[in-house]
Every structure is written in C-alpha cells, then in structure tokens.
Structure 1
Amino acid sequence: MKKFTRRLAMTAMTLATLASTTSFAVEKVVLGVSIPAATHSFMSGVVFWANKAKADLEKANPGLQIIVKTASGSPEQANQLQDLLTVNKINALVVLPFESAALTKPVAQLKGKGVYVTVVDRGLTDTSAQDAYVAPNNTTFGQVPAAYIGKALGGKGNVVVLRGIASNLDNERNDAFNTGLKAFPGIKVLDAKYGNWNRDDAFKVMQDYLTRFPQIDAVWAADDDMSVGVLKAIDQAKRTDIKLVFGGAGAKGSIKTLMDGSDARIQANVSYSPKFIYDAVKMTAEARLKGAKLPATTIIPSVLITKENAKNFYFPDSPF
C-alpha cells in the first residue's frame, strides 16, 4: 500500500511538472514583415535584405516563422496588415510604413490585438501604436548635406531641394537640413518639392526648377535615385551653373561615381543602408523568441561619405 501511495505521489509530481513546463513554454514566433514594394533601387535593397533576414533567421531558429509582404501603396499595405493578423496569425510585426499618417491606425489596430510592433525608418504619427522604433539617423541625414553644401558654396548661393514622400522621416530630414543651413545665411533655398524618391518624378521636378530659376548653385536631392533624375534633367537642359548635386543613402552607382571621380558634381554622400531592415527583423525576432522587448528607440548612425572613405560603403553585389 505504501509503494502504491508513493507511486501515486510521484505520478502526481510528474504531471504537475509537465503542466508547469507547458504553461511556460516559449510560444512560436510568427513575425510579419510589411514593407513597400521595390519601386526604386533603395526599396529593392530593403526587399533584398528583408528576404535575407527571413532565410537566415528561420534557418537558425526552428521556432520562428517570418512572412514578408510588399505593398505598392498605403491602401494595399493596410489590407496586408489585416491579412497578416487574420490569415497568418502573426504575434510580432516589423513594419516600414508606406506613409506615416495613413498607416498609423492600421498598425495601431494590430498592436491593440496583442501584436508586438517594431516600426522601422518612417515613424508613425502616434508612437503609442508601436512597441519599438528602429531607424538610421534622419536628423544627421539632413545635417550632413547642409554642412557640406554650405561649406562647398563658400556660404552663399542658391539651392533647390527635392523631398521624398510625405512622412515623419522626410519631415525630420528636411527640418534638419533647413536648420543646418541657418549657419550659412548667404545661402537661399529657392524651393523644395516632393520627388517621391523616384527618378522620373525627380526628373520632372528638376525640369520645373530649371525653367523657373536661371541661377542654381547646388541641389540637395536627398536620395541617390532622385539624384539620377536630377542629373538627367540638368544634362538635357545643358545647364552649367549647377556645381554640386548631393544625393543620399549610398547607392552603389553613386558611390562608384564618387570613387572614380567621373562626375564633378558628385562630391559627397551620406550613409543610409537598406540593411537596417535586416537588423530590425533580427533584433525583433531574437527578442521575441526570448520573450523580451527591444529598447523604445534604436538609432543607426548616418555619416558623411567622401572619395576618401567611399570604398567602405561600396557593395557591388547588393541591388542597391
């Protein structure tokens, strides 16, 4: 009888231990990655690095599933977010919003359903809709070209600006650029229009600038894709007054031009690698697998690229 009682007690302890183990088991992480489609070379790089993160991290972590979705506009991205929740049953999300305002409510809805949210690059208009924010330094991204252009022009001249897509990211860059130029009161910003980080749109904006302004000394294109459209418009118009075109983000074509010195108008750049999406996905996945959270904000530095250090930012095998 004592043996039977002892056996019952041991069985009860074993069942209790199993129950305890089950209740504390790590839940499988199903992580959605929502990003804009590869409509230009920078986003091609983002898509490339997002899919590489999926391949690398799923291989290293059997308890992890990553679903990558790309969208051509804000309405499509909002719909995809709902699908990630209802169809794919995600419990974590890394999202690069197509537009800040339009995506804030859709992202907030997922967070309200218990999804852990990391917002990347383009911030939301309401930070309570996110758990973490990861981005390169957009303030420095605006400050670096302002300082370089100001010094290159000797503190005086006319500048035109091409902005990206309406977003917190673009506002932060543009505000930093304008603040930086206050150190050079002799420099005048003639106009600033959206080029949507797109070569063709930038070409049209620059055509308008060239028609309206007889003297332009420098252009802040704020993106290497837009700088391609800007240079094309300048060349077609046969304008020789523009001495400097400053792009941004370190596209391999622009960095190669800078290294080779093949276009005197391309004198510097500022770093902003699309690999940040890989880093954001990796940090989020690894934290959630441990049941941990990321810091509220993680900022990746943006630095000046010149001919002297350009080789450190040249990645010929990357799509960007």
Structure 2
Amino acid sequence: MTPKMKTWIAGTTAMAGIALAGGALAQDDPVTIGITQNNVGVDSYQTTYEQAFVDAAAANPNVETVVLDAGGDVARQIAQIQDLIQQRVDAIIIWPTNGNAVVPAVRQAHQAGIPVVITNSNIAEEGMDFIAAFSGPDNITQGAYSAELMCEALAEEGQDPAEASGQIVQISGQPGYTTAIERQKGFEDRLAEACPGVEIMETQPGDWNREKSQRVMEAFLTKYDTIDGVYSGDDNMGVGALNAAKAAGRADEMAFIGATNFAVGYEAMERGEYYGSIYQSPVDDAEAALQTALDVLAGEDVPKLNYFETPKITQENMTEFSKPVF
C-alpha cells in the first residue's frame, strides 16, 4: 500500500545527528517514508493508529508511504526494515516488535544514511545512537501515574494515599516489548515510593490480549483468596481481568487500574467498575510519528525524545475527555 500524502511540516524540529546522503530535503521535495508496525491485528489501538497514519498521509501529495505490519513477528520486522533499506526510502518509522532485537537492522539503516524514527515503544538503549528520534508516550511516567492511581484507589476514605495498604496482582504486556517493560518498571518503582504498604503478589503477561488476560486473572482468582487491586499494562487487558472477576463474583472486592484508555475501559469507568487509567490517543501517536519523520527530513532540530501528554483519567474527571474511538 503506497498512499500519497501532502507534507504538512509545521514546526521546528531536526536531523539529530543523522547524515543523509543528499542532505536535508526542501519542504516541497518528494519523499518516501516507510513504516513497519508491531502487530496491527492484536488490538484496536494499533488498528486505529494505522488508519490515522494513512489518513494523515493522504493530505500530503509530496510524500509516498510504504505501510507494513510485522504481525508481532520479530524476524518479519527485521526483514521489512532491510527491504525498506534496499528500496532506498528517505526515512523509516519503526514500531518495534522487540526493542532489543531490531537494533542491528536499525544500525544498518543508519549506516545506509536513512534516518529512523521509533514510534510508540522505544528501542533498547544500545540502539539510541542509531535513531534520529523517538516519538510517543513516556511509558515510565505512565506506569508511575498508574501506581499513584492504585494508591488513591486503595486508600480508605480520608486516608492519605501514601498510607494505603493491600495486596495486588499485575498483568503486564508482551514480554521483551519495551512498552511493557517500561510501564511495569514505572509502576513498580513508583508504587514502592508512593504507598509502600501495597504489595504486588504476582505478575503475569497478558500479551496485550483481552482473552489471555482474562485467563491470567482466572488463575489469580483461584490462587489468591484476597486481591485488593489489579494493574494491567493497558485497558484491553484490564477489561479482560475485570470480566474474569465479574464472572467469579469478586469484582467489587478490588480496584482496577489500567493504561492507554480504551473505549472498553472508558465504558467500565462509566459503569463504576473501573477506577482509572492513562489517557492516550493513537491518532496523536500516529500523527506525531509522521510529523517527526517529516521534520527530520526537513533538517529541523528534532529532540531525541518527543513525548506527547498522557494524563490520568478516573471516574471523577472522565467527562473532561472524549470517549476513545478504539
């Protein structure tokens, strides 16, 4: 798929140390941008992201895109990156399937003079020297925000959240996936600081999948007589956990905290079944990645880390936010 798109460079950002074969491109020069995504079919966030990217691209007649999806397969994504290098695209956007595994392929793009923008989930530290920029959410901060929400949710009425106590379980994302690693680290580190009386009894991966997360939660419910709270790395998994608890008649016993507020999480908040999440827009995510790549190609001074805001959302303030479309 190679939809045409109109360049809408509208800010000042830059090449961040990448040596392009022909130097910075003029604003109206034709360019080709390739994107390889993680796994569009795994959840509605990634599906919405892809559509938003294509829609943003459609406004730019000076730009062609090559839109690819790795289907969650690391080897396929590496092959896609190498193919884009062979095609001599002007820039490559990568949503990594695995932040460590893609480093050698990203190095190859760097050596070929093709700037790489990492989107949504960052590359491993050893790959940072080979990218032009990262564009996406600050997942460490998201995890920390979720920990603060858990402290608030478990605090007794009138109690300082720092004095909250309880026993919780955690459902993490896809193992090896940077977003999953960072959200878990942000949550665990901040929870220990913000309310040390709250104990994480066990963590199991839900792989960003609602059905798998429901099965993980069913196992937790069998194993633990008391669960005061559940933290899930995104709302898709969080609602899977909620569904398991509801089926077992135990949902009222616990607080559910998520991230990347999905429509199903928003609806569960409306029903009073879900305490809080972190608001994140796949449309903002996609548009920011495209704009960052265009700015890099224009030779603008792009910061290495380009984060967009992802505020806390709870039952108390949810009317300030639009219901997610994913």
Same fold, TM exceeding 0.5? yes
**Contact 2:268–2:274, Cα closer than 8 Å, also in 1:** yes
Corresponding residue to 2:37 among 17, 26, 35: 35
8 A Cα contact 1:164 1:196, kept in partner? yes
**1:312 Cα deviation from its structure 2 partner:** 3.8
**Superposed, which structure 2 residues align to 1:80-91 within 5 Å?**
80-87=80-87, 89-91=88-90
How far the C-alpha of 1:221 sits from its partner, in A, is 1.1
**2:310 is the alignment partner of 1:302:** yes
For residues 87-126 of structure 1, the aligned pairs below 5 Å read 87=87, 89-125=88-124, 126=126
| Structure 1 length-normalised TM | 0.83
SS of match in other structure, 1:102: coil
Specify which of 274, 290, 303 is matched with residue 281 of structure 1: 290
Count of residue pairs brought into register by the alignment: 288
Aligned amino acid, residue 124 of structure 1: I
- Quote the RMSD (CA, aligned, Å): 2.1
Equivalent residue for 2:69? Answer: 70
Matching residue of 2:13: none
Higher relative contact order (CA 8 A, sep 6+): 2
Cα displacement string for residues 14-58 of structure 1 (whole angstroms, at most 9, x for unaligned residues): xxxxxxxx99984532111111223211211221222122212x2
- 2:280 partner amino acid: Y
Structure number with bigger Rg: 1
State the shift of 1:311 in Å. Answer: 3.4
Alignment of structure 1 residues 174-193 onto 2, 5 Å: 174-182=184-192, 183-193=194-204
Q: In 1, distance between residues paired with 2:57 and 2:107?
A: 24
Cα distance in structure 1, aligned partners of 2:243 and 2:268: 15
Q: Distance in 2 between matches of 1:228 and 1:298?
A: 29
SS in 1 for 2:274: coil
Tell whether the 8 Å contact from 2:214 to 2:241 is kept in structure 1 after alignment. yes
Is the contact made by 1:122 and 1:167 (CA closer than 8 Å) also made in structure 2? yes
List aligned pairs for 1:209-224, cutoff 5 A.
209-224=220-235
> 1:168: which partner in 2?
178
3-state SS of the aligned residue for 2:96?
coil
Report the 3-state secondary structure (helix = DSSP H, G, I; strand = E; otherwise coil) of the residue aligned with 1:101: coil
**1:161 & 1:227 partners in 2: Cα distance?**
10
User: How far did residue 187 of structure 1 move?
Assistant: 0.9
Q: Where is the helix percentage greater, Structure 1 or Structure 2?
A: 1
- Quick one: which amino acid aligns to residue 299 of structure 1? Y
Between 1:234-243 and 1:46-55, the stretch displaced more is 234-243
Q: Residue in 1 aligned with 2:205?
A: 194
Match of 2:273 among 258, 265, 268: 265
Q: TM-score, normalised by structure 2?
A: 0.82
Decide whether the 8 Å contact of 1:256 with 1:314 is kept in 2.
no
Tell me, yes or no, if the aligned pair for 2:153 and 2:275 is still in contact at 8 Å.
no
Q: Which residue pairs with 1:6 in the alignment? A: none
SS of alignment partner, residue 294 of structure 1: coil
- Counterparts of 2:154 and 2:217, CA distance in 1: 20
Unaligned runs of 5+ in 2: 1-21, 156-163
2:148 corresponds in structure 1 to: 147
Equivalent of 1:49 in 48, 52, 59: 52
C-alpha contact 1:81 1:106 (8 A) present in aligned 2 = yes
Matched-pair identity in %: 25
